Amino acid sequence: MFRTPSTNPLNPQFSFLADGQDNFAWAVFANAGYEFSDQFRVDASLRYDRDKRKQTTLTPTPFLPNVAGFPQGVTGEVRTRVFDDWQPKVTFTYEPSPDLTLYGGYSRGFRSGGFNQTGVGAVAAAQTPPILGVDDIFKAETADTFEAGFKAKLGPANINGAAYTTTSKNSYFFVFLAANSTQNLGNIDEVQLKGFELEASAEIVPNFDVNAAIGVTYSDIKEFEDPAAIGNEAPLISRYTINLGAQYDGPISDTVDALFRIDYRRTGKTWWEPFNTTVRQPVDLVDARAGVRFGDVAITAFAQNLFDEKYNAEFSPGGFVFKARPRRYGVEIGYTF
């Protein structure tokens, strides 16, 4: 059925899409480092990715979109694209003391492009209003990042922090087109991301550890096919995340060890699409684990989303939502041979 539409006259099929994919990707990588002194070193690397993708239209021609002003696809049509890029990276590391490391550098990331279903671009353009940034082909994404940070040990605590700025070209966003029941990727021409991360962990008393982290990101759409989205927040970028955790992993008697762990995570506002018409409010989640070990046997109970928080994991324009997983819990039993 994935290649041939149904011919049942009692249940006629009005839409059908099928495309074949043939991809071949390869990469090469090299790196080098040099220590100028015991305190200062430079590391550099270079990677090249090349991804050749071929799409064959398998949809019968009568089912292909036919939109005025756009060429209609043809069954058997083959489209080939090559996505490639160089990805340099350089990092400077300075250790003024054994308890402090400073670093900074530049790196480029690459994510290959690809194909949406045949005719998607025409269908997106025919919507009211048109959905811009979506075509039969989505472009490769590149991201250039400058980052500076530190790693420090202060008494029993380990503290890490970093600040960064990233310029992303052709970043992805997701669109579900109800008109032809397709899930597609579009491109935003340019997005600017700026933010920082700070995390700390410490062993308060023997076998008892705590950790905390915060990350803040400010996103800004700089260039897009529809100027109405310029200045908006980028899709799927949460304004902030907060993580708190505590764990005891040690003996409770001469023969029994115990594990108790609880984690709290708060995810800030998250926008779903370039026009920022819908935003998910902050979400609070708690996970927990508790178990015992005696001899070669371990028994652990766990709960994810302990308080059964109701929220959407995804959203697509048009009001299509994907609910997040509800509370899950269970017991794990392990034996060491």
Residue 221 neighbours by CB distance under 10 Å: 24
Query: Among residues 222, 218, 226, 319, which one has the least CA distance to residue 277?
Result: 319
DSSP at 11: S
DSSP at 232: S
3-state class (DSSP) for residue 317 = coil
**pLDDT tens per residue, range 144-173:** 999 999 999 999 999 999 999 999 999 999
CA distance 192 to 98: 35
Task: List strand residue ranges (DSSP E) for 76-207, in order.
Answer: 78-97, 100-111, 114-115, 137-138, 141-154, 157-177, 182-205
Spell out the domains of the chain, with CATH numbers in brackets. Answer: 82-335 (2.40.170.20)
**pLDDT tens per residue, range 254-300:** 899 999 999 999 999 999 989 998 899 999 999 999 999 998 899 99
Residues 6+ apart with CB under 8 A from 319: none
Rounded to two decimals, the pTM is 0.86
